[in-house]
């Protein structure tokens, strides 16, 4: 029985089938909604216009999803997992219906904002379910399941969107999520607890959410600015706004983040830094892959999409393989995984311009494999290292850091690319110069991950975790 409880079968036995379905559906819906838009957006513009707002649908989704994940732990603490998840479902449902019937681009943007907020709340509750329903020994497999659901949905999303666009019915892409959302609502209502304990009502921290939203918006809009100096200013302002939000949160009674969330003196802070840098890395390396392989290596647009998916596939495969590791193997994975990422990104930097293409693909796969090998274990340690009174906000801080990392990674990649000359137009010369600089800069984040992983290994021992929990400030910082 003990062996079964820590194997893959433990995800469906012992009353865990429904929570596992909730996890997979929550993550899958969020990721499919994020990835299908690019495939349907040309059809949307052709039908209802709004070409001037072409990039805003994805940008507003990212901003609102970040806000949803940021307040997810607070919502779970005040409403309970069930009501918080149902709120996320309701927002996502309304957003999908709104997008499906949108008569104008402005209406679609409003619907996408609601979708993103709901998806962010849902993804935060998914991590809450991982914390609440599974023992520590099984949690690596749960987090590997989340990675798998993310990878599969990232492949399915463009297929769903492209299929409905090819049918000439782009609205069907949004309608298709409704039955899944209704099924998820039934599961959540039947399985998740209303409240673990009674809590006084807490007002939403609008100032902190506004600061975080403005930070992500600054970073996202930096990609729409032609001036390199203004792009840099937007990114710097975004960083300062995040710092200010964390500073205010540290002194709040009801926090969005654990105490000292980016302190490398503590296991939780070190792990959250690694989560942030993981997604800065994917933002750096992923944003230009389709452009680079098409312009510099002559591949077709369809193959370019599959080429980009190499990272997700290898990440998912290694997450599944490493999920059953014991403690000693986990420690080796957290050490080796970042070294694989550094090697993979360095290989991409070396091969991105001149190839050969097969070795470039191998470097992309190696990067994803390193992430899959270590990421679930790092997030598991993040949750396990949290103080009991900060368990919910720590779990919801993980997807928040992921969203912030992706935004800052893509923005800084765009900043470097334009500074290298891509803003002058797409040609083999400008793409080669931009790619060389972007991938050279992209090595910095994985190198920092490798250093911080060594720090995390030193901090993550029973004695060190005990000292950290005792020394970490209380609820009011």
Residue 413: the pLDDT is: 81
H or E segment to which residue 180 belongs: helix 177-191
Q: Name which of 396, 418, 423 is nearest 79 in CA terms.
A: 396
List the structure tokens of 410: 């893509």
Q: Specify the fold of 15-205.
A: Growth Hormone; Chain: A; (1.20.1250)
Cβ atoms within 10 A of the Cβ of 303, count? 15
Q: Given this model, what pLDDT does residue 388 score?
A: 79
Predicted confidence at residue 345, as pLDDT, reads 94
CA–CA gap between residue 70 and residue 73 (Å, rounded): 7
From 98, 92, 81, 95, select the one nearest 187 (Cα to Cα): 81
Dist. CA 399–CA 379, nearest whole Å: 10
In this structure, are residues 378 and 325 in contact, taking their beta carbons and an 8 Å threshold? no
CA dihedral 326, 328, 333, 336 (to 10 degrees): -160
Q: In this predicted structure, what is the pLDDT of residue 94? A: 96
Tokens of 327: 């403690």
- Residue written as token pair 């191998």: 362
- Strand runs (DSSP E) across 242-388, as ranges? none
**pLDDT per residue of the chain (477 residues) written in tens, 0 to 9:** 344 456 788 888 878 899 999 999 999 998 888 888 877 888 888 899 887 777 678 778 888 888 888 888 788 878 888 999 999 999 999 999 999 999 999 999 999 999 999 999 999 888 888 888 888 778 888 888 888 888 788 778 878 888 888 888 999 999 999 999 999 999 999 999 876 554 555 677 888 888 988 888 887 777 667 777 887 888 889 889 989 998 898 888 778 888 888 888 888 999 999 999 998 998 887 767 777 887 888 877 667 666 767 888 888 889 888 888 888 899 999 999 999 999 999 999 999 888 798 899 899 999 999 999 999 889 888 888 888 778 778 888 888 888 888 878 877 887 788 778 776 777 888 888 888 898 999 999 999 999 999 999 998 865 655 555 555 444 333
Residue 254, phi-psi category: left (phi > 0), alpha (psi -120 to 50), beta (remainder): beta
Backbone angles phi, psi at 273, to 5 degrees: -60, -45
Q: Which two tokens stand for residue 283?
A: 């933002």
The CATH classification of domain 255-477, taken from the options 1.20.1250.20, 3.20.20.70, 3.30.2010.10, 3.30.465.10: 1.20.1250.20
Sequence-separated (6 or more) residues with CB below 8 Å from residue 168: 43
pLDDT at 463: 60
- Distance CA(477)–CA(253), nearest Å, equals 9
Of 345, 352, 339, whose CA–CA distance to 294 is shortest? 352
Query: How far is 376 from 123, CA to CA, in rounded Å?
Result: 15
Q: How far is CA 71 from the centre of its chain?
A: 15
Neighbours of 237 (CB within 10 A): 15
Q: Which of 163, 220, 184 is nearest to 86 (CA)?
A: 184
Same fold, 15-205 and 255-477: yes
Is residue 450 packed enough to be buried (19+ CB in 10 Å), middle (13-18) or exposed (0-12)?
buried
Say which residue the tokens 């679930």 belong to.
Answer: 376
| Largest distance between two CA atoms of the chain | 63
Residue 273, helix vs strand vs coil: helix
Domain limits, the chain: 15-205, 255-477
Structure tokens at 252: 């709040």
């Amino acid at each position: 029985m003990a062996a079964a409880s820590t194997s893959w079968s433990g995800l469906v036995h012992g009353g865990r089938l429904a929570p596992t379905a909730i996890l997979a559906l929550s993550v899958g819906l969020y990721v499919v909604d994020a990835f299908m838009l690019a495939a349907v957006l040309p059809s949307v513009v052709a039908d209802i216009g709004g070409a001037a707002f072409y990039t805003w649908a994805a940008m507003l989704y990212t901003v609102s999803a970040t806000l949803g994940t940021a307040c997810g732990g607070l919502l779970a603490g005040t409403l309970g997992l069930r009501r918080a998840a149902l709120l996320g479902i309701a927002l996502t449902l309304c957003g999908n219906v709104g997008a499906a019937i949108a008569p104008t681009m402005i209406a679609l943007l409003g619907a996408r904002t609601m979708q993103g907020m709901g998806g962010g709340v849902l993804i935060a509750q998914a991590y809450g379910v991982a914390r609440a329903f599974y023992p520590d020994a099984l949690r690596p497999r749960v987090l590997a399941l989340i990675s798998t659901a993310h990878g599969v949905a990232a492949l399915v999303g463009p297929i769903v969107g492209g299929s409905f666009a090819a049918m000439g019915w782009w609205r069907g892409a949004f309608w298709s999520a409704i039955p899944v959302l209704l099924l998820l609502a039934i599961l959540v209502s039947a399985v998740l607890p209303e409240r673990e304990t009674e809590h006084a009502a807490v007002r939403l921290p609008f100032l902190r959410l506004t600061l975080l939203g403005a930070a992500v918006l600054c970073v996202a809009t930096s990609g729409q600015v032609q001036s390199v100096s203004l792009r840099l200013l937007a990114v710097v302002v975004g960083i300062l706004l995040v710092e200010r939000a964390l500073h205010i949160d540290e002194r709040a009674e009801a926090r969005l983040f654990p105490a000292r969330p980016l302190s490398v003196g503590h296991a939780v802070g070190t792990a959250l830094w690694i989560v942030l840098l993981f997604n800065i890395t994917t933002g750096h390396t992923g944003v230009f892959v389709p452009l680079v392989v098409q312009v510099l290596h002559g591949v077709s647009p369809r193959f370019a999409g599959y080429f980009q998916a190499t990272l997700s596939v290898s990440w998912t495969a290694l997450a599944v393989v490493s999920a059953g590791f014991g403690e000693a193997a986990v420690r080796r994975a957290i050490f080796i995984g970042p070294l694989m990422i550094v090697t993979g990104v360095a290989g991409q930097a070396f091969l991105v311009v001149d190839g050969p293409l097969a070795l470039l693909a191998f470097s992309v796969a190696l990067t994803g494999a390193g992430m899959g090998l270590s990421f679930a274990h790092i997030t598991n340690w993040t949750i396990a290292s949290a103080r009991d009174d900060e368990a919910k906000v720590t779990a919801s801080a993980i997807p928040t850091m992921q969203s912030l990392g992706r935004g800052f990674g893509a923005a800084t990649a765009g900043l470097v690319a334009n500074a290298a000359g891509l803003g002058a137009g797409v040609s083999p010369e400008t793409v080669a110069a931009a790619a060389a600089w972007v991938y050279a800069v992209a090595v910095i984040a994985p190198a920092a991950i490798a250093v911080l992983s060594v720090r995390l290994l030193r901090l993550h021992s029973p004695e060190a975790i005990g000292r950290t929990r005792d020394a970490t400030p209380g609820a009011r910082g």
